[in-house]
Structures are given as structure tokens and as C-alpha cells.
Amino acid sequence: MKQLAELGADGYTNPSVPLDYIKALIESQAADGADYLNWLLLFLGTAGAANLIAAVGWQKHSPAIIERGIILVVVLALIWEVVVAKLGLLTPPFFPRIDRVIQVYREDPVILLNSTFHSLRILAGGYLLGAMIGVSLGFIVGWYHRFRWWGLPLLKVIGPIPATALTALAIALFPGILGSIFLIAFAVTFPVFMNTWSGVASVPKALLESAQNLGADRKFTIWHVVLPSTLPSIFTGLYIGLLVSFLTLVVAEMLGVKAGLGWYIWRAQGWAEYYRVYAAVIVMGFLFSAMLTGLFSLRDRLVYWQKGMIKW
């Protein structure tokens, strides 16, 4: 306990501290009453079940598809095991055995759940902030012509800048978790803005003129004519922004955060524990797939006239 006390907050971001120390620290904190891991486990289980139910509901022959998927995973795992363990064509530590990767979930369940919780917090904060800014700017530039003259050229210059290129600026302006949220929000804003602006600008003039002839004011026109016409484009931007946020998350979690899946991968890679890297990547795959499923489900509810056109 004395070593854990001396570790302190700096031990999270110090690569010289092994993962076992971090796991012991988190376990001691959980024993003191931090029960949010149970809620996170419930959330992940619900998300996985929802992902499976959605897949079953969208396919006529879903049981056969699920069976083929399970068989494919087993076959790929067996091929990996033969190539790595039996033939030795791919050697450790870069290519660990399958059983060693699975063993990580027994050794590090607490630290993986804690990292998943922190990644969700950073991802949700950055993604929602970037989405709100992107949709707002898209509507302003697309609807008000005076803002389009000066706002669009500026956004065309700033928007394509890779978020990872602003890492040093994020560290200087927003230390800790705020810098990570800033990077993800910056990465999400531009694709959401471009698709929203394109959707607003492409609303048929006949619809706008018909609404005006029927006595609709500006507020009614925006909410009942422009917004429904723009929703498909907005969700396209949200989908692209979500994919970009996944890519940015791993880099964003190197900015002095105390936990996260990207942080877990970075630390495990530093200790050449690549079996932990693969375990975290698998968690990321299931988590991100569940989030994309939720986004497409929301799209089917709001853009109901295009329900079923795009499936995930």
C-alpha cells in the first residue's frame, strides 16, 4: 500500500511504471467504493446485446449468418494458432498466441473496464461537442449568405488540418483530458459541418418557395422544411465524424490522461506486451461497432422515410 500511495497520479502517465502497479491501484480504489465499473459492465453487456438483436432483426436468415460468423471467428483463431504456435511463421512478441490474448481478460478485467470507461467519457465529450459545432456552423453558413462569404473560406482552410497536428497546441491550451476532448471535437467538426452545409444548400428552392407562399415564417421553414431535408446529409457527416473520432482517440489519449484504451495500448506497447495490445484492440472493435449500430438505429428512427436503405 505504501508503494501505491507513493505512485500517485503521475504514475498513470509515467511509462516506467508497469501495468501491474496501475491495476493494483485501480483495484484498491474500487475496493474503497468505486462501483462505476459495475455500471460500465452493464452498459457494455447491453450494447453487445443490442448489437446482436439489431443484427437479428435486420436479416431474414440471421441465425445462419450468426452461425457462419462464429464459425469464421473460430477458423481464423485456429489458423492464427497454427501459424504462430505450430509452424512458427509469425513469432512473438509481435504475434502472441490466442490463448495468451484471451488470458488478458482474466488478468486485467478491472483495468480494461476502467480504461473503457475513460475512453467512452473522452469520446462522448469530444464527439458530441464536435457534432454540435459542426451542425450549427453548417446551418449558419448554409442558410445565411452573408456568413458564407467569409466563413466558408476560413473553414475550408482550417477544417482539413489533421487533428493530430494540433497535439502540441492541445497540450498547451487544454492540459489533461480537456486536450483529448479538444482533439476529437476538432476532428469531428469539419466532416459534420461540410455535410450539414451541403444538405442545407441543396434544399430545393421549390420547397422553400412553397412554404413561403403558404405563409410559413423563417422558424417554421427551418424546422419543418430545411431540417428534414438535411437530416440524411447530417447523419452522413455524423457517421464520418464517428469514424474519425475512433482514429483520433488513440492519439488523444497520449496527452497525459490517466486511463483509456489508447493509453492502455500505448503503455503495453512500450513494455512489448503485445498480447495486451491485441486484447484492447478487440475491445475497441466491439465497442465501436456497438456505437455505429446505435447511430444507424437513431438514423432509421429520425429519417424514417429512408429506413432500411443503409444497414449496418
pLDDT at 82: 76
Between 213 and 3, the more confident residue is 213
Cell numbers representing residue 217 in the block: 415564417
pLDDT at 65: 59
Kindly state the percentage of the chain with pLDDT values over 90. Answer: 10
pLDDT at 249: 86
Q: Is the pLDDT score of 226 beyond 70?
A: yes
Radius of gyration of the chain (CA): 23
Residue extents of the structural domains in the chain = 48-91, 111-260+282-312
Say which DSSP state 176 is in.
T
Q: Which of 17, 125, 16, 73 is nearest to 26 (CA)?
A: 17
pLDDT at 296: 85
What tens digit of pLDDT does each residue of 107-120 get? 878 888 888 888 88
pLDDT at 133: 93
The second-level CATH assignment, the architecture, of 111-260+282-312 is: Orthogonal Bundle (1.10)
Between 136 and 176, the more confident residue is 136
pLDDT, mean over the chain: 75
Q: Is the pLDDT score of 13 beyond 70?
A: no
pLDDT at 56: 47
Residues 6 or more apart whose CB falls under 8 angstroms from that of 278 comprise 96, 101
What tens digit of pLDDT does each residue of 120-143 get? 888 999 999 999 999 998 888 888
Residues 6 or more apart whose CB falls under 8 angstroms from that of 138 comprise 192, 193, 194, 195, 196, 197, 199, 200, 234, 237
pLDDT at 189: 92
Q: Is the pLDDT score of 89 beyond 70?
A: yes
Model confidence band, residue 68 (pLDDT cutoffs 50, 70, 90): low
pLDDT at 39: 44
Evaluate whether 258 touches 22 at the Cβ level (below 8 Å).
Answer: no
pLDDT at 192: 93
What tens digit of pLDDT does each residue of 199-222 get? 888 888 887 778 777 777 878 888
Between 79 and 57, the more confident residue is 79
Cα–Cα dist 262/283, whole Å: 11
Helix axis angle for 227-252 and 109-143, nearest 10°, is 140
Q: Is the pLDDT score of 36 beyond 50?
A: no
196: helix, coil or strand?
helix
Cα–Cα dist 123/126, whole Å: 5
Model confidence band, residue 264 (pLDDT cutoffs 50, 70, 90): confident
Cα–Cα dist 293/291, whole Å: 5
pLDDT at 19: 55
What tens digit of pLDDT does each residue of 179-194 get? 888 999 999 999 999 8
Q: Is the pLDDT score of 257 beyond 80?
A: no
Degrees (nearest 5) of the Cα angle 45, 47, 52? 95
Cell numbers representing residue 198 in the block: 451541403
What tens digit of pLDDT does each residue of 144-174 get? 777 777 777 777 788 788 888 888 888 788 8
Evaluate whether 217 touches 168 at the Cβ level (below 8 Å).
Answer: no
